[in-house]
Amino acid sequence: MSVEPAGQHTVRRLNAALVLGEIAATPGVSRAALAARTGLAKATVSTVVDRLVAARIVAEGEPMRRAGPGRRASGLALSPLGPHGLGVEIGVDYLACQLVDLAGAVRFQRITAGDNRNRKPSVVLTAVARLIKAATRAAADAGVRVGGIGVAVPGLVEQDTGLLRVAPNLGWQEVDIAREVAERTGLERVEVGNEADLAAVAEWRRTGLADFVRVSGEIGIGAGIVLDNALFRGVRGFAGELGHVSVVPVGGDRCRCGADGCLETVAGQEAILRAAGVASIEDLTTRLSTSDGPAVAAVAGAGRVLGTALAGLINVMDVPAVVLGGTYAVLEPWLREPVLAALGERVAEPVEVLRSAWDTDAAAHGAATAAVQAIMADPDAFAERVADQ
């Protein structure tokens, strides 16, 4: 019962995804090359591609020049007029929105500042709906469809229901964001996800890494884990809660989660600022750039502890790369060495440590990418939806 019975449609779906994946990986491929790469017959590739073109997912370019004899191939690529992903990020002090095409290009982008702490969900979600409407209008103006909507929130999102369980930094609890947004915009297909998870998706998009953890230090410490080119969410969707791993077993500070000595109490943004004796990240970086002793030591200390916690994650999950995001990306020049040192001590296999390729709106991009990715993973379902109208 849990698995659907397979039929011809299953074959079609799988092959559509296979072909589309190959087109995405190598823009400009010909049908003949696709047949060779996928192992499908040329005839099959042609029909699959025809369906993808009809659904506007793939676009056929001009015949390509070739060296030597033979008919010229017409290059296939993801269509810039294909379905777009719309991503919204509900940050603690901003809302971000992105409209992203199938290839990952940003078509529309907006960030609105504003403290969302302890504002009622209904108020914030009305603003979110406004952003979505603006992005939808932008899509309509460009003549493209919105294929799916993603919303990133800094909190625990239940996998099955999509319910936001709790977002400590917003002061929210038990909010059905998908429903609220759908009610306000009239749009379905709203997927809600954790901010750290979706930021990892954005990172995956930009780096192409198949397996990594992305840690970002903001008010909390979140980890988004990508394994085998897919987000690892855990059984209920709560995976990646690195902030409350124990790093000071005895005598640690009390954490807002109730336990003592959590990673967050040592390597969280606030803790680092306190240890360095500064008021803001800007102050901290200025001090660091002048090699101010206490500041460097504070960051190094946090880095060692962060590295130790990451080593635990890596030993348990066997992930070969770490991406530093958010505040950690800003501090990367001073954080990198101590993190690497701690990892080197505790992990047998080599681990890469990288700096995030994103600034602020990683999660918004990730939310949009996730929506796009849902289509890429099952283009045939989307094509069917299009055909139904």
Cβ–Cβ under 8 Å, residues 269 and 218: yes
Q: Which does 4 bind (CB under 5 to 8 A by kind): DNA, a second copy, none?
A: a second copy
> Closest distance between DNA and the C-beta of residue 64, in Å?
8
* Alpha helices by DSSP H, 145-268: 177-185, 195-207, 264-267
Q: Which does 70 bind (CB under 5 to 8 A by kind): DNA, a second copy, none?
A: DNA
Cβ–Cβ under 8 Å, residues 53 and 63: no
> Could you tell me which of 36, 30, 32, 40 has the C-alpha nearest to residue 60?
30
Burial level of 103, CB count in 10 A (0-12/13-18/19+)?
middle
> Closest distance between a second copy and the C-beta of residue 136, in Å?
34
Q: Which does 317 bind (CB under 5 to 8 A by kind): DNA, a second copy, none?
A: a second copy
Q: Is 4 in the site for DNA (CB under 7 A)?
A: no
Q: Which does 80 bind (CB under 5 to 8 A by kind): DNA, a second copy, none?
A: none
Q: Which is nearer to DNA, 5 or 249 (CB)?
A: 5
* Residue written as token pair 């000071």: 248
Instruction: Give Cα 59 to chain centroid, integer Å.
Output: 26
Site residues (CB under 8 A) for a second copy?
1, 3-8, 10-11, 14-15, 18, 21-22, 37-40, 44, 156, 211, 223, 225, 227-228, 233-242, 244-249, 257-259, 262, 305, 308-309, 311-313, 315-320, 345-346, 348-349
Q: Which is nearer to a second copy, 68 or 258 (CB)?
A: 258
Q: Which does 50 bind (CB under 5 to 8 A by kind): DNA, a second copy, none?
A: DNA
Q: Which does 316 bind (CB under 5 to 8 A by kind): DNA, a second copy, none?
A: a second copy
Q: Is 30 in the site for DNA (CB under 7 A)?
A: yes
Q: Which is nearer to a second copy, 165 or 184 (CB)?
A: 165
Q: Is 74 in the site for DNA (CB under 7 A)?
A: yes
Separate counts of helices (H) and strands (E) for the chain: 14, 15
Q: Which does 37 bind (CB under 5 to 8 A by kind): a second copy, DNA, none?
A: a second copy
Task: Please say whether the dihedral angle defined by the alpha carbons of residues 42, 80, 196 and 166, taken in this order, is positive or negative.
Answer: negative
Q: Which of 24, 59, 73, 259 binds DNA (CB under 7 A)?
A: 73
Name the residue type at position 39. Answer: G
* Residue 134: strand, helix, or coil: helix
How far is residue 242's CA from residue 357's CA, in Å, rounded to a whole number? 21
In the chain, the largest separation of any two C-alpha atoms, in whole Å, equals 77
Q: Which stretch binds DNA (CB under 7 A): 64-72, 166-174, 176-184, 279-287?
A: 64-72
Q: Which does 378 bind (CB under 5 to 8 A by kind): DNA, a second copy, none?
A: none
214 is written with which tokens?
């992305």
Q: Which is nearer to a second copy, 4 or 62 (CB)?
A: 4
> Could you tell me which of 76, 98, 132 has the C-alpha nearest to residue 379?
76
How far is residue 280's CA from residue 298's CA, in Å, rounded to a whole number? 14
Q: Is 359 in the site for DNA (CB under 7 A)?
A: no
333 is written with which tokens?
């020049």
How far is residue 152's CA from residue 174's CA, in Å, rounded to a whole number? 15
> Closest distance between DNA and the C-beta of residue 20, in Å?
12
Cβ–Cβ under 8 Å, residues 189 and 381: no
Cβ–Cβ under 8 Å, residues 194 and 155: yes
Q: Is 44 in the site for DNA (CB under 7 A)?
A: yes
User: Which letter does DSSP use for residue 2 in this model?
Assistant: -
> Closest distance between a second copy and the C-beta of residue 81, in Å?
27
**What is the C-alpha end-to-end distance of the chain, expressed in Å?**
30
* Alpha helices by DSSP H, 243-292: 264-267, 269-276, 281-289
Q: Which does 199 bind (CB under 5 to 8 A by kind): a second copy, DNA, none?
A: none
Element (H, E) at 76: strand 74-78
Q: Which of 66, 120, 137, 254 binds DNA (CB under 7 A)?
A: 66
Q: Is 9 in the site for DNA (CB under 7 A)?
A: yes
Q: Which of 17, 20, 23, 48 binds DNA (CB under 7 A)?
A: 48
Q: Which stretch binds DNA (CB under 7 A): 7-15, 77-85, 157-165, 291-299?
A: 7-15
Q: Which does 183 bind (CB under 5 to 8 A by kind): a second copy, DNA, none?
A: none
Cβ–Cβ under 8 Å, residues 191 and 374: yes
Site for DNA, rule CB under 7 A: 5-9, 11-12, 15, 30-33, 39-44, 46-50, 63, 65-74
